[in-house]
Structure 1
Amino acid sequence: MQKDSPFFVSGVHHIAVICSDYPASKRFYTEILGFETLREVYREERDSWKLDLKINGLYQIELFSFPNTPPRPSRPEACGLRHLALKVSDIESAKSHLESKGVLCEDLRVDPHTGKRFTFFSDPDDLPIEFYED
């Protein structure tokens, strides 16, 4: 929509991710990727954790746990969210950091349209995540 429209999108508020193993995913997003915890709530009525995470002072990811979640149908061409892409300034250092923590990464590739380098890896539930060099 255009700025003069009554409906104007000014940015992304958050991305919601449902995980199957809450402690493993919490560790991955906070200790490995470096997101900071803004708020963590256990919702007893839903037997569900909700973890609000931020990076660089911005609220970006809601991490949820629910009992008996269905698996992701396929990777990555299932209908719906394809992957989460995160900006990094030094792709080689970012990839080395992940690999030092036991996270498998694809080989570095180059975006043929921008010339920027990127790599893919997965979170504990096999959600595809991309590091894209800024």
Structure 2
Amino acid sequence: MKGQDTTMKLSKIHHVAIIASDYQVSKNFYTNLLGLPILNENYRAERDSYKLDLSVGDSQIELFSFPEPPERPSQPEAAGLRHLCFAVESVEETAAELEDKGIAVEPIRIDEYTGKKYTFFKDPDNLPIELYES
């Protein structure tokens, strides 16, 4: 349309949705091990599915369960969403906290473009999660 600004106004990511193969294991991982606060938890009987809303700063993670979800495609470079990334003040401190909780963390690397530190770990379904120093 002539004269109208057609630029979308996307302001932030509202949420990331994750489907867990074992809801209770993933709920424990994200709430107890990672410490994400629960906003809402609902069971949807018609879908035999849970939906757990977790707070991450001004964004959210929606953790879902569904009966017998298919496995994630091969890693690390399968088409689709590649990974989830959390900004942290100190990659070293956060990685050490995860390791103290029994979560394996890859060696810390340096982003060749920004000079910032980063590393990866995985959730119970092998979803890669990145820590990136802010």
Q: If the length of structure 2 is used for normalisation, what is the TM-score? A: 0.93
Could you say what the CA RMSD is over the residues aligned between the two structures, in angstroms? 1.1
Aligned equivalents of 1:115 and 1:44: distance in 2? 48
Larger Rg: 2
Unaligned 5+ segments in structure 1 are: none
- Map 1:1-134 onto structure 2 (within 5 A): 4-5=5-6, 7-56=8-57, 58-134=58-134
Unaligned 5+ segments in structure 2 are: none
After superposition, the C-alpha distances for 1:16-57 in whole angstroms (9 at most, x for unaligned) are 00000111111111111121100000000100000001023x
SS of the residue 2:98 aligns to: helix
SS of the residue 1:61 aligns to: strand
Aligned equivalents of 2:97 and 2:7: distance in 1? 44
Corresponding residue pairs, total: 130
The residue identity in structure 2 corresponding to 1:90 is S
After superposition, the C-alpha distances for 1:96-130 in whole angstroms (9 at most, x for unaligned) are 11101111010000000000001101000000000
SS of the residue 1:93 aligns to: helix
The residue identity in structure 2 corresponding to 1:98 is L
Sequence identity, in percent?
A: 55
Q: Is the 8 A contact 1:19 1:65 kept in 2?
A: yes
SS of the residue 2:13 aligns to: coil
Q: Is the 8 A contact 1:109 1:118 kept in 2?
A: yes
Q: If the length of structure 1 is used for normalisation, what is the TM-score? A: 0.93
SS of the residue 1:45 aligns to: helix
Q: Is the 8 A contact 1:34 1:55 kept in 2?
A: no
